[in-house]
Amino acid sequence: MSGGPESNKVVIIGGGPGGYESALVAAQLGAEVTVVDTDGLGGSAVLTDCVPSKTLIATAELMTDVSGAAELGVNFHDHQGDAATTISVDLARVNTRVKQLAADQSADIARRLAKENVEVVQGYGRLDGPGRVVVGDQSIDADAILIATGAAPRTLPTAQPDGERILTWEQVYDLTEVPSELIVVGSGVTGAEFASAYLALGIPVTLVSSRDRVLPGEDADASHVLEEVSKRRGMKLLSESRMESVTRSGDVVTVTLTDGRSIQGSHCILALGSIPNTADMGLEEAGVILKDGGFVNVDRVSRTSARGVYAAGDCTGVLMLASVAAMQGRIAMWHFLGDTVHPLDLKKVSSNVFTAPEIATVGWTQQAVDSGEMNAEVVMLPLSGNPRAKMQGVRDGFVKLLCRPGTGIVVGGVVVGPRASELIHPVSIAVAESLTADQLAQAFTVYPSMSGSIAEAARRLHRV
């Protein structure tokens, strides 16, 4: 139903999840849609960030499972049957698979957009006022514009990537040799995920964190479990260690800390956060107000300060997740094209850190309870008591549920364990639909299953 003489003309700058998901919604609602993109459909999410890292982590997960195989009675032998086989990772092959999968996913998105009659223009888009986008010498008028240009890895003048041994997260898939000693700088989600993944692949890893713990933005109990497990598996954790510079001399990379200490390795990954792709795009000239750090200021229906100009995804800095980017973009289109729209509610977003174990979260946090911002009862159940966990040799992890004291309504939860990203879903539904702990407890869970611990935690929140 897209197109037509009366249809609204929407131009989307950026082909990541913020951009292409909105294009699909706008086309569905009958708009004439153009997506302008530089690097390839799918954006950083598909080509360099989310999809590649989770594909790499799929191999890391397999290695983690294999390392626990002996406990479950599985031994590996070579073809003569008299010596244990050495399990190793062919990093070049892993990286080839990663890049192929990303390219295929990008091609899938291109086909889907073509099927919905979305026009794709390759090039760098700029605003020429609030109603026109310029790409090279092409000028496209628009009734609404969506800025979904994403963000790029932050680097420092004293820590410049060389693409060979000092790497951003976008460059790691070009590695053909296995690092002999990897240093990851930054203990946010990206740093923690890469440190955990490469450790599982059998590479010695040092994680340098400027804070007192890894994942300072996540649940403290969850980051404690991750630290314990990572140390047990051999990761070196340097907390309260701020990086001053990263330099390379031949095959050796040196990370110097602000207190004068230094560590050496063969490779270093910089995970220092992201900066928005909003410079030199004519945004402020078109009336789009930028916040500190250059992020586009938006309201909860993705409107910027310029009439008819919306923004979604990492360029807004609201919550840097592919799922949030896509939702912000869809909301923008529903709003502009007059469909039913609910403003973005960050307290309903579920997210996951793909470390070993995984850490999944939704809704209000224990930190908000501890600081008095939210009044909630909290129950935490270790997974080690769960029968399925015992069968699978899983000892680390827990389920945590938060509910309101009077009504019993579930307002948040944390799951730490294998496949926590899947296990969080019932909690996410409870938070989204304001279910009570009793309602969550009454739904059947399979016996034996990890999700049994979610129901058990909910039962413990029952009040008479």
Ligand X SMILES: Cc1cc2nc3c(=O)[nH]c(=O)nc-3n(C[C@H](O)[C@H](O)[C@H](O)COP(=O)(O)OP(=O)(O)OC[C@H]3O[C@@H](n4cnc5c(N)ncnc54)[C@H](O)[C@@H]3O)c2cc1C
Task: Residue 9: name the closest of 118, 136, 113 by CA.
Answer: 118
Q: Using CB under 6 A, which of 12, 23, 50, 401 touches ligand X?
A: 50
Q: Quick check: 16 binds ligand X (CB under 6 A)?
A: yes
Q: Using CB under 6 A, which of 14, 131, 179, 408 touches ligand X?
A: 14
Instruction: Candidates 145-153, 383-391, 393-401, 453-461: pick the segment binding ligand X (CB under 6 A).
Output: 145-153
Q: Quick check: 55 binds ligand X (CB under 6 A)?
A: no
CB of 125 to ligand X, least distance (A): 4
Binding mask 413-442 for ligand X (x = CB under 6 A): ------------------------------
DSSP string, 106-156: HHHHHHHHHHTT-EEEES-EEESSTTEEEETTEEEE-SEEEE---EEE--B
Distance CA 248, CA 271 (A): 17
Q: CA torsion 243→249→252→258, rounded to 10°?
A: -20
Q: Quick check: 320 binds ligand X (CB under 6 A)?
A: yes
Of all residues in the chain, what percent are helix, strand and coil, respectively (each to 5)?
Answer: 35, 25, 40
Q: Using CB under 6 A, which of 2, 28, 38, 439 touches ligand X?
A: 38
Q: 260 exposed, middle or buried (CB, 10 Å; 0-12, 13-18, 19+)?
A: exposed
CB of 19 to ligand X, least distance (A): 5
Q: Quick check: 190 binds ligand X (CB under 6 A)?
A: yes
- Identity at 414, one-letter amino acid code: V
Both tokens of 86, joined, read 């050495």
Q: Quick check: 322 binds ligand X (CB under 6 A)?
A: yes
Q: Quick check: 321 binds ligand X (CB under 6 A)?
A: yes
Distance CA 31, CA 418 (A): 42
User: Which CB sits closer to ligand X, 17 or 417?
Assistant: 17
# chain residues binding ligand X, by CB under 6 A: 36
| Run of H or E residues at 256 | strand 252-257
Q: Quick check: 297 binds ligand X (CB under 6 A)?
A: no
Distance CA 251, CA 380 (A): 46
Q: What are phi and psi of 358, to 5 degrees?
A: -75, 155
Q: Using CB under 6 A, which of 29, 106, 125, 396 touches ligand X?
A: 125
The dihedral region occupied by 404, where left means phi > 0, alpha psi between -120 and 50, and beta the remainder, is beta
Distance CA 37, CA 122 (A): 5
User: Which CB sits closer to ligand X, 16 or 131?
Assistant: 16
Q: Enumerate the β-bridge partners of residue 29.
A: none
Q: Quick check: 17 binds ligand X (CB under 6 A)?
A: yes
CB of 43 to ligand X, least distance (A): 2
Q: Using CB under 6 A, which of 22, 64, 169, 246 touches ligand X?
A: 169
Both tokens of 346, joined, read 């960050």
Q: Quick check: 124 binds ligand X (CB under 6 A)?
A: yes
Q: Is the dihedral of CA 108, 113, 117, 118 positive or negative?
A: negative
- Identity at 339, one-letter amino acid code: D
Map the footprint of ligand X across residues 218-277, applying CB under 6 A: 277
Q: Quick check: 15 binds ligand X (CB under 6 A)?
A: yes
Our CA angle for 144, 150, 155, nearest 5°, is 150
Q: Quick check: 150 binds ligand X (CB under 6 A)?
A: yes
User: Which CB sits closer to ligand X, 91 or 458?
Assistant: 91
User: Which CB sits closer to ligand X, 51 or 458?
Assistant: 51
Instruction: Candidates 48-56, 79-87, 199-207, 300-308: pick the segment binding ligand X (CB under 6 A).
Output: 48-56
Pairing status of strand 267-270 against strand 166-168 = parallel
User: Which residues make up the interface to ligand X (CB under 6 A)?
Assistant: 13-19, 36-39, 43-45, 49-50, 53-54, 124-125, 148-150, 169, 190, 277, 281, 313-315, 320-323, 325, 354
